[in-house]
Structure 1
Amino acid sequence: MTSPRVLISGAGVAGPTLAYWLARHGWRPTLIERASGLRSSGNPVDVRGPALTVAEKMGLVPALQDVATTARSMGFYDRAGHRFARVPTPAGRSAAGTPEIELPRSDLARVLLQAASDAAEVLFDDTITTLQQDAGGVDVTLGRHAPRRFDVVIGADGLHSAVRRLVFGPDGTFVRHMGMYVATTVLPGPVQSPGDVLMHNTPGRLVAVHPGRDHAMLGFFFRHPAAAPGHRDPEAVKRFVAAAYTGVGWQVPELLEQLHAAPDLYFDAVSRVQLPRWSQGRVALLGDAASCLSLFGEGSSLAMAGAYELAQALGDSPHDHALAFERYEAAHRSRVAPKLRNFGLVASLLVPRSRPGLTVRDLALRLLSRGRNSGP
């Protein structure tokens, strides 16, 4: 019997994880990615919980640990550059004490893609232009390659999913902007503070410098009511970010200069994706395309766990995609729902909206810092 064929749109975190496991269930995966290669920018992310178990089963934990960040604390700085609080973060563990690996998202995507490449066809610099389903499969036309036919198609292509738009409808129906934006890039040169995440807030704005192994990552997280320029116009994005941080002290003027000079920039609205169903016929959504959590790294672990769940379901029911999609969605929605409920709380703690809110948050940080530093 011929092995079933699957087209996976998106070579970030979810897509390669799914390709790896489907290949081991006897499927023939093809990965398609709009970009011409993997990005170097992006937030630090955590591999924890079920995702860490998936990485262990893939034999990737040593490779992930090799590129893990070196941060051991978060330091909070005022406008004049004085550190007023320092909160340790236990190495290899979350604040709750559970095992995890923190690393740049670009490195996680690279390790996962390398693992999948031995069994998956990978097409960079291409995208899906049309999808036509029938009882036996999906006919797909691509921007650069010849048309093909697949048994199922999976959209793992992020917040701005082309698969979701083609099959489920326009972004405005399912994507809700949460009133915040994020811009990140890699800073050149060696890491100046390899053990510390450096953070500075003003109302509605956060700047963070996060150490990696051999370079630092710069992040701007800010609330803004206006519509931003398209994320594919980097010069307009840089001007938009700079305008949002006008008059901010600390190291921000120098960091904005580095942002302007950066060759690779990640920028997007912090958004929430909600759909009544994650599948339609022979097409299903995965990761941020189905349930975006585009703030502070939570989505990558959920993407890996969801990809493993979907691969298991399709592996158990290779000729009944409807049953497989139903099983995957029922299991994975239960993981996603609590994270979505906590979204607002995380945002209010890391990027307080008002001066009173920031004052209360900073007082709590000072008390926490003193308590930890005075302990045994």
Structure 2
Amino acid sequence: MKTVLISGASVAGLTAAHWLRSKGYAPTVVECAPALRPGGHALDVRGVALDVLDRMGLLEEARRVRTRMRGTTMLDAEGNELWRSPGTRLGGDRSGGGDIALLRDDLTRLLYGPTRDDVEYVFGDSLSALGQDREGVHVSFERGRPRTFDLVVGADGLHSEVRRLAFGAERRFVRHLGRHLAVFSADNFLGLDDWQVWMRDETARYCLYPARDNTETRATLGFASGPLDHDHRAVEDQKSLVAERLCHLRWETPKLLAAMRTAPDFYFDAMARVRMRTWSAGRVVLIGDAGHCPSSMSGQGAGPALVGAYVLADELGRAGDDHRAALTRYEARMRTYAEPDRAPTTADPAGSAPEEPLERAGNAIALDA
């Protein structure tokens, strides 16, 4: 049985584990976090990505736990209401019609369930080196013993370690988009009832929306900035930076920033795109944000991660022992669907990309090609 190492236990990695196992591979998933990562904003699932969930037997449950926003209120920096619109959903919930939006950690929990008992998961470790020859990919880990795999799949996000080891420094592939983003969860301290609230001025903004039957709030905060030299592991410093950039906003901002200080699932990073000429190098291949991150402004949601994992497994299953042919066909099929320049990006994270381009982008690939 062929072996495959998947780096990253989020949407792309978990989906790849499911479909590669179904094609006769023995997957091992390594994740640097000690368990599935909590938190994250709502992700749209639209078009063919819904078909991927359906083929996994997860669509009904995904619809059950989806977010259900009834409308939006927009406030200025002083807390004055600019407009209120029932039926309008911005930013964290662009879904409509048959499309759905669900919290990132709810989606990963669903994806993890079918594989948790028959896929090897290694939490709390990460790759430190890799080398290839005709026998496979020889991988060293930060903590575990070295191992050899037939293939390695990088599903480890914007700051992919697999990409760095196999393709080179991050600066060659990651394009900063002039904004930074923070996401965390808190109690529903505003008593929001399936209704999202935005506050913004020229440089900073945030969105609050309820989740899980209005029992909690997810907060998405952003500010305009050039590249920042910050330590991705220094969470308290990141919180201080966000507070400094948003503290001038009025209304309930002090309560929000106080909740941020104690949030256990705080996430902070630049909004960026990944652009690469190729997503594979020998026996190493990238999926999801590691290879083609379109940024959260694209409206693409979880689609590229779900569909990319499915297409990769589909091509490997068809190719038998010819992994080179499989990876070439994987890229050819995915380019028109996942490339950042083809995503219907909106320049305003508090705006919505037009629905017609989103629908076209969500269906720009056939699962049964």
Would you say same fold, with TM above 0.5? yes
Q: Which is richer in helix?
A: 1
For structure 2, the residue ranges without an aligned partner over 5 or more in a row are 353-369
Query: Do residues 107 (structure 1) and 106 (structure 2) align?
Result: yes
Partner of 1:287: 288
What is the 5 A alignment of 1:89-128?
Answer: 89=87, 97-128=96-127
**What SS class does the counterpart of residue 87 from structure 1 fall into?**
strand
**What SS class does the counterpart of residue 302 from structure 2 fall into?**
helix
CA distance in 2: counterparts of 1:12 and 1:46, whole angstroms: 15
How many angstroms does 1:67 deviate by? 2.1
- The farther-off stretch of 80-89 and 244-253 is 80-89
How many angstroms does 1:189 deviate by? 4.7
Larger Rg: 1
CA distance in 1: counterparts of 2:189 and 2:56, whole angstroms: 31
Partner of 1:141: 140
Partner of 1:372: none
Q: 1:228 to 1:197 in 2, by over 3 A?
A: farther
How many angstroms does 1:340 deviate by? 4.8
Partner of 1:360: none
How many angstroms does 1:199 deviate by? 0.4
What is the 5 A alignment of 1:152-163?
Answer: 152-163=151-162
Partner of 2:344: 342
Q: Deviations over 1:189-212 (max 9, x none)?
A: 577112211101100222100211
- Contact 1:131–1:139 (Cα < 8 Å) also in 2: yes
CA distance in 2: counterparts of 1:339 and 1:4, whole angstroms: 35
Partner of 1:304: 306
For structure 1, the residue ranges without an aligned partner over 5 or more in a row are 353-376
Partner of 2:318: 316
- Contact 2:68–2:194 (Cα < 8 Å) also in 1: yes
What is the 5 A alignment of 1:256-267?
Answer: 256-267=257-268
- The farther-off stretch of 12-21 and 205-214 is 205-214
RMSD: 2.1
CA distance in 2: counterparts of 1:209 and 1:217, whole angstroms: 6
Partner of 1:178: 177
Q: 1:263 to 1:182 in 2, by over 3 A?
A: same
What is the 5 A alignment of 1:329-368?
Answer: 329-337=331-339, 340-343=342-345, 346-348=346-348, 350=350
What is the 5 A alignment of 1:1-376?
Answer: 3-89=1-87, 97-189=96-188, 192-213=191-212, 214-225=215-226, 227-296=228-297, 298-337=300-339, 340-343=342-345, 346-348=346-348, 350=350
- The farther-off stretch of 107-116 and 332-341 is 332-341
**What SS class does the counterpart of residue 350 from structure 1 fall into?**
coil
- The farther-off stretch of 112-121 and 131-140 is 112-121
Q: Deviations over 1:14-72 (max 9, x none)?
A: 00101101111111111100101122221111111111100011110122123211212
- Contact 1:221–1:351 (Cα < 8 Å) also in 2: no
**What SS class does the counterpart of residue 347 from structure 2 fall into?**
helix
The one-letter code matched in structure 2 to 1:10 is G
How many angstroms does 1:276 deviate by? 0.7
- Contact 1:9–1:31 (Cα < 8 Å) also in 2: yes
Query: What is the aligned length?
Result: 346
CA distance in 2: counterparts of 1:166 and 1:176, whole angstroms: 19
Q: 1:115 to 1:294 in 2, by over 3 A?
A: farther
